[in-house]
Structure 1
C-alpha cells in the first residue's frame, strides 16, 4: 500500500521543478506583434471601452424606435367604483348591476387584464442630435483603440529589439571575456619564460574579473528585457523569449515627415470627440423645442388570462413643451457649451504639441543615423587597432597595459555601435508612430 504513495511523492518531486519553469518562446517580430494584438491587456481594456460606447450609441436609437411593453395583471376587489368599472371593461354589466344595494355593497369581483403599451417618438430634435453625438463618441473610441494598438506595437518592437540588443551585448562580452582569458594565459606563459612580470598578470586578471561582472549585468538586463515583452504579450510570468531577428538583420529606412497627418488615429479620435461634444451642446439647446410623441394601448379584460375576454384600445398624440424648469435646461446647455469649447482648446493644444514632437523625432532620427555611421567606423578601427597591438605584444613590442586598453576599447566600441543601432531603430519606430 505504501508503494503507490511513494511513487506519487517521487513523481511530484521530479515534476515540480519542471512545472515551476515558464515556457520558452522563440518568436519573430511579426509573431510577437500578432500575439500582442490578440492578447495585450491594455488593448483588451480599450476594446471593452469601445463596446461600451457602441452600446450607448445603440441606446440612442430610442429617439427613433418605438417602445413596446406588455403586462398581465390579476386583481380582485369589492370597491364599488372598481367593481363597476371592471364589469364595464369585461362587458358583463346587466340591469341588476344598477340596483343601489348592489352598487353600494358589491361582492368581490376578479379581473384578468392583459395589456400592450406602445410609445412612438415622432419629433424629438434633441434626441436626434444626441444620436449623432453618441455615434461620434463610438467612432472616437474605435480610433482610440486603433491608436492604442499602434502604441502597443511600437512598444513590442522596442522591447523585441531590446532583447536582441541584450543578446548581442552578452555575445560581445562573452567574446571579450574569452579573449581576455586567452591573454591571461599568454601573460602567464610569458611570465614563466621570464618575459612578463607579476604586475602584468595582475592587470590582466583584474580586467578579466571586470568583464565577468559586466557579463553578469548584461545577462540580468537580458532577463529584464524579456520580462517587459512578456507583459506586453500578456504571457505567463516566467516565460522566456528568444528573438529570431537581430538588430542588423532588420533594415529600417529613414523617412522624413513634414507635417502631422490628420488621418492619424489619435487625431481622428480627438476630432470625433470634438464633434460629439459640439452635438451634445446643440442637443441641449434643442431641449427647449417642443416634442411630439404618439402613444397607444391594447387591453383584454376577462375572468381568466387569454380566455373569453373583451378587447379595448386607445391611441393618442402628445405635444409637450418644457417652458421653464428652474434653469435646469439652460444650465445644462451652458455646461455643454463650456465642455465643447474646452475640448476645442485641448484639441488645438494637442495638435501643436504633437507637431513639436514630430519635428523633434525627425531631428533625433537624423542624429541617430549619423551616430550609427560613426560608431560603425569606430568599431572597425578599434578592432584593427587591437589586432595590431596583439601581434606586436606577442613579439614583445607592446606593453600589457596597451594591449588591455586596446582590447577594452574594441569591446567598448562594439557595444557603442549596438546601442547606436538600437537607438536609431527605436527612434524610427517612434517617428513612424508620430507620423
Structure 2
C-alpha cells in the first residue's frame, strides 16, 4: 500500500512539474507587449539614444571651457625665480643685484589659476553639430521602421500559432472520424465480414494521425515560444493560445505596385546623404578663420593657502589654419567617397526593394489562387468521402478505399489551411513593403 501511495505521489509531482499553463491572448495585446519589450526595438532605441548622447558633445561649440588649478613649484632657475617673485609682488631693489639675478636662492611658489575659453565663431563645429542632428533623426526613423518590421514579424508568428492550432484541431477531427470508422471495421471483422488486413490498415492510419497530432502540438509550442521571445518573457511551462482563429483575409493588390519613396527606410537612407554633405562642409570650414575669447585670473604666494598677489589676462583671438598637411583635404575626399558609396547603395537598395515588392505582389496573387484551388479540392474530397462512406455502409466499397478517401480529405484540409497561412503571410509582407 505504501508503494502505491509513493507511485501516486510521483505521478502527481510529474504532472505538476511538466504541466503547461495555456494563456489566451489577442493580437492587439501582443502588439502592445512587443512594442514595449522587443529586443530589436530596444537596440534600435539605444542606437538613437547613443546618437543623442554624442550630439551633446557639440555643445562645446558655444559653451565655455573652464579650468581651475592649484600648483606648487620650487626653483632656483634665474628666470623662473625672478618671475615667480614678481608674480608674488615681492620684488625689492636687492633683487636687481646682478649676483641675486644670476644666482638666486630657491623660491617656492603657490599658484591658483582660473582659466576660461569661450568659443565665438567656429564654422566647422557648426556643420558637425548639424550632421550630428541629422544622424540622430536618421536613427529615430530607423527605429520606427524597426517597429514596423517587428509588428510584421509578430503578425506572421501569431498566424503561425493560429495555423498550428488549426492543424491540431483538423487532425483531432480526423482521428475522431477514423476512430468511428475503426469501430465499424472492428465490428465487421468480429462478424467475419472483412479480413484482418483491413483492420491493420486502420490501425496504421490511426498511428499516422497520432504522430501528426504530436508533431502539430510541437509546432504549437514552438510558435508560442517564439512569440514569448519576441516580447521577451519567460516561456517555461506556458503556452499561448490565440483568441482569433486563422481566417482568409481576402484583399486586392496591384499588379505593378510602385515603391513608396516615403517609406521610412528609404527616408533614412536619403536623409543620411545630408549628413555627408555637412561633414564635407565641416572639413572645408576648417580653413575659415575662428574667433574665440579667452581669459584667466591668477593668485600667487610663497606660502600655502595664501593669496596676497593676483592678476588677470583677457583677450580675443582670431586664428585660421593656413596649411594642415592636407589633413582636411583628405577628410573631404573620404567623405565624398562615402557619399558616393551611399548614393550607389541607395540606388541598389531601391532597385532591390522594387523587385521584392513586385515579387511579393505576384506571390500574393499566386497564393490567392492556391487558396481557391485547395478549397475546391477539399470540398471535392469531402464529397468523395461522403459518397464512399455511404457506399461502404451499404457494403459496396472496400475499407481500404474508404481509408484512402478519408486520408485524402484530411490531407486536402491541411493543405487548405497551409495555403491560407501562406496567403495571409504574403499579404502582410506586401503591406509592409508597400507602406
Q: TM-score normalised to the size of structure 1?
A: 0.88
**2:259 is the alignment partner of 1:260:** yes
**2:87 is the alignment partner of 1:51:** no
Matched residue SS, 2:233: coil
Judge which range, 394-403 or 418-427, deviates more: 394-403
Of 93, 109, 112, the residue aligned with 1:111 is 109
Matches within 5 A, 1:55-204: 55-204=53-202
Deviations along 1:218-248, whole A, 9 cap, x unmatched?
2222222223223222223535331323343
- Cα 1:285/1:118, change in 2 over 3 Å: same
* Aligned-pair CA distance for 1:430: 0.7
Is the contact between residue 22 and residue 237 of structure 1 (CA under 8 Å) also seen in structure 2? Answer: no
Judge which range, 52-61 or 299-308, deviates more: 299-308
How far apart, CA to CA, are the structure 2 residues paired with 1:304 and 1:31? 73
How far apart, CA to CA, are the structure 1 residues paired with 2:104 and 2:18? 81
- Cα 1:83/1:252, change in 2 over 3 Å: farther
Matches within 5 A, 1:384-399: 384-399=383-398
2:3 is matched with which residue?
none
**2:224 is the alignment partner of 1:220:** no
1:339 is matched with which residue?
338
How far apart, CA to CA, are the structure 1 residues paired with 2:384 and 2:304? 102
How far apart, CA to CA, are the structure 2 residues paired with 1:106 and 1:23? 90
2:319 is matched with which residue?
320
Deviations along 1:310-339, whole A, 9 cap, x unmatched?
332222333333333333222221111111
How far apart, CA to CA, are the structure 1 residues paired with 2:45 and 2:92? 66
* Aligned-pair CA distance for 1:176: 0.8
1:301 is matched with which residue?
300
2:4 is matched with which residue?
none
Matched residue SS, 2:286: helix
Give the RMSD, CA atoms, in angstroms: 2.9
Is the contact between residue 90 and residue 302 of structure 1 (CA under 8 Å) also seen in structure 2? Answer: yes
Give unpaired runs (5+ residues) of structure 1. 1-13
- Cα 1:309/1:351, change in 2 over 3 Å: farther
Matched residue SS, 1:288: coil
- Cα 1:125/1:208, change in 2 over 3 Å: same
**2:394 is the alignment partner of 1:380:** no
Give unpaired runs (5+ residues) of structure 2. 1-11
Matched residue SS, 1:73: strand
Total equivalences in the alignment: 424
**2:405 is the alignment partner of 1:409:** no
How far apart, CA to CA, are the structure 2 residues paired with 1:107 and 1:18? 90
1:431 is matched with which residue?
430
How far apart, CA to CA, are the structure 2 residues paired with 1:363 and 1:138? 37
How far apart, CA to CA, are the structure 1 residues paired with 2:16 and 2:199? 44
Is the contact between residue 280 and residue 336 of structure 1 (CA under 8 Å) also seen in structure 2? Answer: yes
Is the contact between residue 29 and residue 243 of structure 1 (CA under 8 Å) also seen in structure 2? Answer: no
How far apart, CA to CA, are the structure 1 residues paired with 2:174 and 2:378? 14
- Cα 1:19/1:176, change in 2 over 3 Å: closer
Is the contact between residue 247 and residue 421 of structure 1 (CA under 8 Å) also seen in structure 2? Answer: no
Matched residue SS, 1:48: helix
1:6 is matched with which residue?
none
1:232 is matched with which residue?
230
How far apart, CA to CA, are the structure 1 residues paired with 2:97 and 2:295? 35
1:354 is matched with which residue?
353
How far apart, CA to CA, are the structure 2 residues paired with 1:186 and 1:131? 83
* Aligned-pair CA distance for 1:407: 1.0
Is the contact between residue 24 and residue 243 of structure 2 (CA under 8 Å) also seen in structure 1? Answer: no
* Aligned-pair CA distance for 1:258: 3.4
